[in-house]
Structure 1
């Protein structure tokens, strides 16, 4: 009877170990996919802005400007 319990515990520990390893691999793959998406997004944005003519809006992104609006009642 003790042998059955020991075998059961060994099998359970082995199964949990394999499951944890699989979860870690999946988490790493998800993180890598997220990083790849960010890289892809950055490349697309860089290509779009590469041809942007700064003469259209000089100073865009250089400094912040404030605009004050007044409501007319």
Structure 2
């Protein structure tokens, strides 16, 4: 069992390390990564392919959609 004083010291040390890490990261200039550069283009192209495949599938499989309940 840890003594309360040791627990408090350890907690203080962890808080201080966290503050130093945050301060260090906030001063760095971060280079853009793959997601910063290409994220929106990949998302848009994926959505386009998805819509195209579903449209092609829906129009080519020959399903009679039967949207109206009238005229049966």
TM-score normalised to structure 2 length: 0.43
TM-score normalised to structure 1 length: 0.42
Does 1 or 2 have the higher relative contact order (CA < 8 Å, sep 6+)? Answer: 1
